[in-house]
Amino acid sequence: MSEVAIVSKIHTLYPDAAIDIDGEGCNFELFVISNGFQDMAVVKRQQSLLNLFSEELVSGKLHALSVKAKTFAEMEANRSHLVQLEM
């Protein structure tokens, strides 16, 4: 499955999604940021994304799909924990 096809499928459910994909062929890791995840438990976020690809996972078109999902606010909050060292 191509990265373009994966992104397209995710955008059908989460049009505002920012997506980072790592992998190739039939094994991918997805990191998806969307405000559509607001008020959803982590497992529900993962399930919603994995359900988009259920047909591909059953058919073997995809063998492995790892998913991390956050909201934009969660990403911004995590960003504030970063420390910049001055040289």
For residue 4, give both structure tokens.
């373009």
pLDDT tens digits for range 34-58: 999 999 999 999 999 999 999 999 9
b (16+ CB within 10 A) / e for 3-15: eeebeeebeeebe
Say if 78 falls within a structural domain: no
Say if 84 falls within a structural domain: no
Question: Domain count of the chain?
Answer: 1
Domain span including residue 11: 3-72
Say if 19 falls within a structural domain: yes
pLDDT tens digits for range 61-74: 888 899 999 999 99
CATH number at residue 45: 3.30.300.90
Say if 80 falls within a structural domain: no
Say if 45 falls within a structural domain: yes
Q: Name the percent of the chain lying above pLDDT 70.
A: 90
pTM, full prediction:
0.83
